[in-house]
Structure 1
Amino acid sequence: MANHRLRDRVIENFVKSWSRAKPPIATLAVEALTDLYDRFREAGLADRTFEQQLTSGQPATYEQRMGELLLADMLWRDGFSLESNDEGPDFFVSKDGKSAWIELHTPDRSGIPLDYFDLSTPGLVKGVPHTEINLRWTTAIDQKKGQLKKYINSGIVKADQPYIIAVNSRLLNPFKMTGINGVSGKPIAVEVLFSVGPVQIQIDRLSGEVVDQFHQHRPFLDKPGTESKVESDSFHNPDNARISAVLGVDLLEQVTALGGEHPSALVYNPLATTPIAQRWINAQEHWHCTIEPDSYLVQRLEP
């Protein structure tokens, strides 16, 4: 396949992204990213606007399209083969005789206070806008659920094919490496899919001793500045049964360039009509839920 006319500009963007690194490291990083880009295009995974958006000069757009490259690399390293077309989800992935669709979404920073991302004052202590960040995740999942309906109606996604939503938190993190956990200490994907809130501590009023601690059950998120509430229990809702799992991930250029793992958590839908096998996709953490008539238990799978 011939090189794209914007290939040189794509590489220039990689150089710019690593301009602050030491020259030997920057050279390795740019070479690794260029090799990945060439493989991505050769595999037919780049849509008609990929290079144009990657080189648009808009930082958010760059990260969103870069996320596709990095997710493809993550899946290739995990032994998957990848296909794509302009009309369907980002990737159709196959491994071990099984296949699934994966749709990636990299939420922008809408609704999150801008001062959270201001790193100009070293040592400044400030709070994390957990609710606003979680709302970006719920919006991402809801948007991809809407896309799934269109894919099913058009016949692109078949009734027996699993559909996985990948949410890349890169634009929601002010630092180069911050992970994917929320206020509960658990992955944000777990919080917004299973109504998991912060830890609550019960203290004996007489002795002052801690007698119990547990996670708050939080089926709704308050939308700041309004009286609106947003559901945060997607995997308890049968309407979402066609979503097989949600992969929460922070896709980092340095992982592809220098090695390591992307922070990631794969959360399985207990109501899925097209479930995927546990650990079929590699992730740092795997979470599942057991539902009983009057309770449910969310657990991390043991390594």
Structure 2
Amino acid sequence: MSLRTAIEQRYPHAGAQVPAMRERLIEITQAYLDAGQGDANAEQRLCSTDDFVYWQQLSEVLLGHQLGAAGIAYTHQPVGPDFLIEHEGRRIWVEVITPTPAGIPQSWLGPAGNGVRDFPHEQILLRWTAAIKQKAEVLLGNPTQQTTGYLGNGIVGADDCYVIAVNARLLRGFDGMFCELLGISQLPFAVEATLAVGPIQIRIDRDTLKSSEPEHQQRYVIHKPVGQPVPAYTFFDERFAPISAIWAADIDEGSVMDRPAPMLVVHNPQASSPLPLGLLPAQEEFSAGVIDEEHYRLERVDGRTAPLEELSIEVG
């Protein structure tokens, strides 16, 4: 099956902007393949009828397109992460993953209908932590499984930046109604998964019954119905210092029609090779600065693609 046939069959509708989107998507994916920006099986994956296989590959195409649209040149190496950016004498590697919705209720993934749906924030957050863990092991290796990662075999250098790009498209289901970047804390899932930020809480004094100002919980682990709790403090664990940042996105086919895709960057405060602020396409960026042993300040600043009002919150 040709790429054109596969995309035409995947998007067969003739109404609204679908025909124009379809043609633009074919153009962008073909250019991606012609430029050798994907692995050898990239075309086969783009032609797959398996939604999960298709989206893993399309995410690379769409994020690569975002880099190009922002004027950021990149290459795809025969061995190594998906993108290599050369910036001011430094190498910045980007590894892309699209978490599958395993464990997320079908009531959330399916059509919304007219009813009220619960927000399965913990199940979604677990998909973020799993995705980050998977791509961290690609870099660092897994001693238990006796695997050597990109860092150990010299593909990624000790002074290189390594960014995990997570496309959350599949975590909002196929009706596409909700952007899937913000968690129960009203901060990004990427922040919750790496900087131990939990839901907003109010403390009530038992004696006076006076309540405190709202604040974010420190949540270092996420409890699962079965199995061991999952860590949510990746960026406070010095083992993960080689990971520079998380590039979080909720990007789909609509982005090829110049529809802005929600994107943000969460920086690792302990990164051995920090990612420069404002480099990647994103509306906002988050970084953490330590106040004392129990508190840090999370700063939100304008991103490269869409300035937003600055926000500063204290977590502790």
- Deviations along 1:221-278, one digit per CA (max 9) or x if unpaired, are 0012x2520100101111100000001111111011x212211110011100111111
CA contact 1:263–1:284 (8 Å) conserved in 2: yes
- Give the conservation status (yes or no) of the 8 Å contact 2:223–2:230: yes
Structure 1 CA distance, aligned partners of 2:14 and 2:247?
A: 30
Equivalent residue of 1:151, what SS? coil
Unaligned runs of 5+ in 2: 141-148, 308-316
Structure 2 partner of 1:20 = 13
User: Could you say which residue in structure 2 is the equivalent of 1:90?
Assistant: 82
Aligned residue type for 2:47: T
Counterpart in the other structure of 1:54: 46
Matched, 1:296 2:279: no
CA contact (8 A) 2:13 2:19 kept: no
Q: What is the SS of the residue equivalent to 2:273?
A: coil
Which of 69, 90, 99 aligns to 1:107? It is 99
Q: 2:151 is matched with which residue?
A: 152
The question of whether the paired residues in 1 share the 8 Å contact of 2:38 and 2:82 is answered with: no
SS in structure 1 opposite 2:270?
coil
Equivalent position of 1:67 in the other structure: 59
Distance 1:21 1:71 in 2: 26
Partner SS state of residue 286, structure 2: strand
Deviation at residue 130 of structure 1 after TM alignment: 0.8
Partner of 1:197 in structure 2? 198
Per the TM alignment, residue 300 of structure 1 is displaced from its structure 2 partner at its CA by: 0.8
Instruction: Give, in whole Å, the separation in 2 of the partners of 1:248 and 1:53.
Output: 22
Aligned to 1:231: 231
2:124 partner letter: I
Aligned length: 292
Q: Is the 8 A contact 1:270 1:289 kept in 2?
A: yes
Q: CA deviation at 1:16?
A: 3.3
| Equivalent residue letter for 2:161 | P
Q: How far apart in 2 are the matches of 1:13 and 1:41?
A: 15
1:123 aligns with 2:114: yes
* 1:127–1:21 Cα change, 3 Å: farther
Structure 1 residue 209: Cα displacement: 7.3
Kindly state the Cα deviation for residue 78 of structure 1 after the two structures are TM-superposed. Answer: 1.2
Contact residue 196 and residue 216 of structure 1 kept, 8 A: yes
**Quick check: 1:106–1:171 contact (8 Å CA) kept in 2?**
yes
Q: Secondary structure at the match of 1:171?
A: helix
Q: SS of the residue aligned with 1:262?
A: coil
TM-score normalised according to structure 1 size: 0.90
The aligned counterpart of 2:313 is none
Contact 1:11 1:30 in 2 (8 A): no
Q: CA deviation at 1:113?
A: 2.1
Match of 2:162 in 1: 163
Query: Which one has the bigger helix percentage?
Result: 1
1:14 is displaced (CA, Å) by 2.4
Question: C-alpha root-mean-square deviation of aligned residues, in Å?
Answer: 2.0
Distance of 1:38 and 1:115 partners within structure 2: 36
Pairwise CA distance, 1:189: 0.2
Q: Deviations over 1:8-42 (max 9, x none)?
A: 3x22232234333516x222112211121122112
Alignment partner of 1:35 is 2:27:
yes
Aligned-partner residue type, residue 122 of structure 1: G
Match of 1:255 in 2: 255
The aligned residue for residue 3 of structure 1 is none
- In 2, Cα distance between equivalents of 1:238 and 1:292: 18
Q: TM-score, normalised by structure 2?
A: 0.86
Shift of 1:291: 1.4
SS of residue paired to 2:214: strand
